[in-house]
Amino acid sequence: MSKLRLHNTFSGFEFMAQPRVCILRAPGTNCDHETALAFELCGGQPTRVHLFELLQRPSLLRDYQALCVPGGFSYGDDIGAGVVFGSQLQGQLAETIGEFLQRDTLTLGICNGFQVLMKAGILPGGGTTWPPKANEPPPATLTWNENGKYTALWVKLRGQSSKNVFLRGIDEIELPIAHAEGRIAVRDQSTLDHWTAGGQVGLCYTDANGHVPASGELLPYPANPNGSIANIAGLGDPTGRVLGLMPHPERFLFATQHPRWTRLGLKGDGDGLKLFQNAMNYFRAA
């Protein structure tokens, strides 16, 4: 089952079990502990699962309601960010991933995890187009930043999709980014038009005043830190149950993680926690 509901027959009340989250890591992943903590803080039951373990026993994924591919440098990004990891999901684990996407599950890819979802072909179509057709060029990819450099800074973002589970109730947030290959590039304009019409554009970079150019004009660096088309920072699938984003929500779980928390008088939760809370609330709402 994807949404676990357990019944207490003695007292007569009903309660929801902790949603189980697979934090899928590979050689080079380095944000799995922070990501697991984020889900745990929101009432989930995360388990850090090594890719090799899943390759050995693919049926493991049936035990989970959510899948998250965290950030880092899987396989050292030696032949491109997320390429090797993505090829393993698309190859040896194609049937397992397909089965998971067809269930009422959630999938999240953060930074390198977003790159993995794109290279694997899980995004942009999700389960509606999985597995991707052989020898057919992908409609979009994540490639090198316009400045050609690894870039780490804080960015302002605006939620663009009301249908994506992870982004419910999110209007403006601020998160850190840290990547070299975060620029979304599309094969043609029709791809972008399709995303926009289907509510798949999840998050966009904004200017200092929280505005996203309606015309699609690119914001200058550092507002748009990588030159991503239409200022896109996060992309979902047609169902709203898959999200990939370049910023790191797991690095802003507490107000004190913001570099200007004292000057801004920030207290309590960081902006990033909301994405994980939305995911866990999805299973409790059923």
Residue 43: per-residue pLDDT: 97
Is residue 174 very low, low, confident or very high in pLDDT (cuts 50, 70, 90)? very high
Is 31 one of the annotated active-site residues of the chain? no
Is residue 7 very low, low, confident or very high in pLDDT (cuts 50, 70, 90)? very low
Q: What would the mean pLDDT of 230-241 be, rounded to a whole number?
A: 98
Is residue 195 very low, low, confident or very high in pLDDT (cuts 50, 70, 90)? very high
Reply yes or no on whether the pLDDT at 12 is more than 80: no
Of the listed 22, 42, 111, 204, which one is catalytic?
111
Reply yes or no on whether the pLDDT at 10 is more than 90: no
Reply yes or no on whether the pLDDT at 162 is more than 50: yes
Give me the number of domains the chain comprises: 1
Omega before 131 within 30 of 0, i.e. cis: yes
Is residue 216 very low, low, confident or very high in pLDDT (cuts 50, 70, 90)? confident
Reply yes or no on whether the pLDDT at 13 is more than 70: no
We report the CATH number of the domain holding residue 83 as: 3.40.50.880
Q: What would the mean pLDDT of 270-286 be, rounded to a whole number?
A: 94
Structural domain boundaries enclosing 94: 5-284
Reply yes or no on whether the pLDDT at 224 is more than 50: yes
Q: What would the mean pLDDT of 7-28 be, rounded to a whole number?
A: 69
Reply yes or no on whether the pLDDT at 103 is more than 70: yes
Reply yes or no on whether the pLDDT at 8 is more than 60: no
pTM passes above 0.85? yes
Residue 134: per-residue pLDDT: 81
Of the listed 31, 179, 250, 258, which one is catalytic?
250
Is 99 one of the annotated active-site residues of the chain? no
Q: What would the mean pLDDT of 246-251 be, rounded to a whole number?
A: 98
Q: What would the mean pLDDT of 195-216 be, rounded to a whole number?
A: 94
Of the listed 31, 34, 68, 248, which one is catalytic?
248
Is 248 one of the annotated active-site residues of the chain? yes
